[in-house]
Amino acid sequence: MARQSAREIGQIESTYTSDLGQLTWAWVLKADGRVLYRLSHINGRPERNYWRLVYQLNATERWQIEQDSGRAAGLLARLAEERGHHLPANPAEQRRRGQPAGSRRQAARAVSSLT
């Protein structure tokens, strides 16, 4: 993972592997509240793609993130997962974000049973 600059609050990477290759995306939360992502590597080879804006935090959300720096990674992970990017299954990370391991699957079953 690349180093964070002073203008970045948080950064994560998501990876997708198939028979055709491995794709890695970089997700960044900037100090001004912009959440951006781009395709950063194909089969381990660096790529130079444009950053795409995913979300803009409002002032209240930025203040909350600044109070707890651990929230930045959680926010980036949630936005990545909402857009279909799969993050490594790390039970410790899920607990840190307040989700027990496997909770997404259980929540999906509960929602489907309500409909």
Can you give the residue ranges of every domain in the chain? 8-87
**pLDDT above 50 for 110:** no
- CA neighbor of 76 nearest in space, from 17, 28, 21: 28
For residue 98, what is the DSSP state? T
Q: Quick one: tokens of 42? A: 């194909």
**pLDDT above 50 for 44:** yes
C-alpha distances out from residue 69 to 7, 18, 48, 62, 64, Å = 14, 33, 28, 11, 9
Q: Where are the beta strands (DSSP E) in the chain?
A: 8-17, 22-30, 34-42, 45-46, 52-56
The pLDDT tens digits for 46-100 are: 999 999 999 999 999 999 988 887 889 899 999 999 998 878 765 455 555 555 4
Length of the chain: 115
CA dist., res. 55 & res. 62, Å (int): 12
Q: Whole-structure pTM over 0.75, yes or no?
A: no
In the prediction, which pLDDT does 109 show? 41
Query: Which pLDDT band, with edges at 50, 70 and 90, does 104 fall under?
Result: very low
